[in-house]
Amino acid sequence: MTQVLFLLTPGLHLLDLAGPAQVFGTAGDFGHRYELRYVAGRTDVRTHQDVTLTAETEPPGISPDDLVIVPGWRAPLASGEFPDHLLDLLRAHHASGGTVVSAGADALGRAGLLDGRRCTTHHHLQAELARRYPSAILVPDVLFVADDRVLSSAGIASGIDLSLHLMAVRHGPAAAARIARAMVVYARRNGEEPQASAMLRHRAHLSDVVHRVQDEIDARFAETLPLAELASRAGVSGRTLTRLFDTAVGCSPLRYQQALRLERAEHLIGHGSTVEAAARAVGFGDARMLRRLRNRP
């Protein structure tokens, strides 16, 4: 049985731990058995969400086939809260041929495993990671990166994507898809996909009218959505909606819809779909418009 060893730190994010743990636990339902172990510098570990976890203080013996994962944490760690013997474990496990994983990559940097390697972290922490580890090759705004058995993710929900990637590597894409479906995960995302989708990038405004129209477009982006229909549903004129949308979002409703279509099409293409099939799936009559959007600077 493969062991998954989680190294816990004070202030860790519950989802950084629970998401991957759920993936490996669910894998057991399909015959891929994993033993989950939790190790920390002390027996009680308080998370950032104020839940206290219980951990072992001495790591078990592990083999190169096992996995060592460090969930991400919120606040800067005080001296000694990531003990040297756990950093030594990260280094030794990788040196023996094992795979090490960290949400946010800081633990990997502390262990000296980022020099000359590609890595990523949460978009709010990218500048800080680059400052701390100048020899690392930071890949910004992606979900996860794998480089020579050193894997890092953007943290939080992206830990699920990275764990599903490990399932695909170890047991095949079909197994990963079955686990994702059992977890009610919408889709298994590739590591290169952006951390912030179009639906999130254009939502940092305060216009109720525009949010309502975005809700409508988000739900029906593959359909033909005339401006007059969207404006009518929002209770404004087409001209007013266009003005409000441009002020709040920085583009027209049509451009926003195209951004959603393009993002979904890129996802489908990344999972093996042809350009023509992806174009039809997202609502384009043929692939010409999709190709034009993909080539737009």
CA dist 115 → 7, 35, 89 (Å)? 21, 31, 18
Position 187 pLDDT exceeds 60 = no
CB 163 within 8 A of CB 2: no
Which pTM does this prediction carry? 0.73
Q: Using CA atoms, how far apart are residues 5 and 57, in angstroms rounded to an integer?
A: 12
Candidates 226, 295, 296, 216; CA nearest to 254 is 226
* Residue in 156, 155, 173 with CA at minimum distance from that of residue 164: 173
- 3-class SS letters over 65-83: CCEEEECCECCCCCCCCCC
Confidence class of residue 183 from pLDDT cuts 50, 70 and 90? very high
Beta bridge partners of 194: 142
pLDDT of residue 141: 82
Instruction: Tell me how many helices (H) and strands (E) the chain has.
Output: 13, 10
Model confidence pLDDT, tens digit, residues 276-294: 999 999 999 889 999 988 8
Provide the residue count of the chain.
297
pLDDT band at 198 (very low <50, low <70, confident <90, very high): low
Q: What angle do CA 101, 105, 106 make, to 5 degrees?
A: 125
Contacts of 273 (CB under 8 A, 6+ apart): 281
Cβ-based neighbours of 135, under 8 Å, separated by 6 or more: 114, 115, 116
Q: What percent of the chain has pLDDT over 90?
A: 69
C-alpha angle 288/293/297, rounded to 5°? 140
| pLDDT greater at residue 204 or residue 193 | 204
Domains and CATH numbers, the chain: 2-182 (3.40.50.880), 198-295 (1.10.10.60)
**What angle, rounded to 10 degrees, do the helices at 158-171 and 14-27 form?**
30
**CA-CA distance, 269 to 38, in Å (whole number)?**
38
Q: What is the pLDDT of residue 195?
A: 54
C-alpha closest to that of 67 among 158, 134, 165: 165
Q: Which of 58-62, 256-260, 265-269 has the lowest mean pLDDT?
A: 265-269
CA distances from 111 to 52, 102, 150, 270 (A): 26, 11, 11, 33
Listed in sequence order, the DSSP H helices in 189-237 are 198-201, 208-220, 227-234
Residue among 8, 87, 108 nearest 48 (CA): 8
Which pairing describes strands 2-8 and 67-70: parallel, antiparallel, or unpaired? parallel
